Amino acid sequence: MSAESYLSRGVSPTKDDVKAAVKNQDKGVFPGAFAKLIPDIAGDPDYCTAIHADGAGTKSSVAYLMFKETGNYDWFKGLAQDSLVMNTDDLACVGAYKNMSLSNTIGRNAHRVDGKAIAKIIEGYDEMIGKLADLGINITMCGGETADVGDLVRTLIVDSTIVARAKREDIVNAANIKPGDIIVGLASFGQASYETSYNSGISSNGLTAARHMLLSKYYFENYKESFSETVGEDKAYCGKFRLTDELPGSSQTVGEAILSPTRTFLPVIAGVLDKFRGSINGIIHCTGGGQAKCKDFGKGIRYVKDNLFELPPIFKAIYGSGEIPMKEMFQVFNCGHRIEFYCDSEEAAEGIIAIAGSFNIDARIVGHTESTGTDSNEVVIRYNGEEFRY
């Protein structure tokens, strides 16, 4: 099923065409793992290596809008955390989270994004690396590239690449998810003990949909550079909010909620793997593909999610726009939890919830796995009396 409200704005939530393009590539040394792993770059047969690239996506367009509206360069800073965490937390899903090396790539239109903005992004990287070091997670900044590509980029793109090595015996391979597993989800919203403010939970997926469904025609009329001309007027900035408006049900403004920096779950994942590694069959990062992301992993698995968190305010507002049905919401957004553990015992599930709680992060059993009786996978979401199948 395709999320039409997303596709109509030039974005594929499932990236089926990309998957088809890479289907014949080598799957690495742990086929079916959440992130691709290759033989160790140092040549140690007991290790493997992950090289991962991702970024803040179109969230950078909202940072640009906030800067233009307020004159405050600090709005660019959070993009570094978004870009970094979209990599680190993917790698943590395979157990590769120690001694990472980072390179950043920034593509900008220098007519609109100046050196002060770039300095704030670099400052954001340094601050996040320092914060993670305080939590026992070590990342080395190896430099990067800032490219002036105004012919291609209207405002700004903030991407990162991370390299990490891990012992093969420590790898978490999502191919091992099996029927009967318990699914524990970690809330994407709230304020973790290592965060300085409330987090809406939006993270860095679905931002094209979020900003066009939430923000008003004011931005279409005043900031043509903030979106593509391929997005029709009927799909561009169709919402009712200005960035400074209060988000209903929240103490945040709409702009603050959209730009909440992507939460890292590294401290929780590290704690869980230290204590319960033998009980963890897989870890899934509910990013591109949202709550249906898990469908890509394992074989013959029905993923049943019937105890999800209530939609946080940012997602209620997006759904309330009337631009997107609930089935697509779950396909595009994390909708309240972004990391999920697949474990084989109640003891491990309770332990995961306790470890998350020690960082002031809500966690709960959100579902379980069953056999489909075939080689195909299926996701079943039950929410507020409705059932959605993917």
Q: 289: which residues sit within 8 A by CB, 6+ positions away?
A: 13, 14, 15, 295, 296, 331
pLDDT at 84: 98
How buried is 73 (Cβ within 10 angstroms: 0-12 exposed, 13-18 middle, 19+ buried)?
middle
Q: How far apart are CA 214 and CA 19, in angstroms?
A: 30
Q: How far apart are CA 334 and CA 158, in angstroms?
A: 21
CATH code of 234's domain: 3.90.650.10
Q: How far apart are CA 89 and CA 95, in angstroms?
A: 10
pLDDT at 1: 36
Give pLDDT tens digits for 367-381. 999 999 999 999 999
Please compute, for residue 196, the number of CA atoms within 13 A of its CA located in the half-sphere on the CB side.
5
Domain that residue 290 falls in:
4-389
Query: For the chain, which ranges sit under pLDDT 50?
Result: 1-2
> How many domains does one find in the chain?
1
CB contact at 8 A, 199 and 190: yes
DSSP 125-162: HHHHHHHHHHTT--EEEEEEEEEE-TTT-SSEEEEEEE
Q: 253: which residues sit within 8 A by CB, 6+ positions away?
A: 243, 244, 245, 246, 247
Alpha helix ranges (H) inside the chain: 4-7, 16-22, 59-70, 78-92, 115-134, 207-214, 217-222, 254-258, 266-276, 313-320, 326-332, 346-358
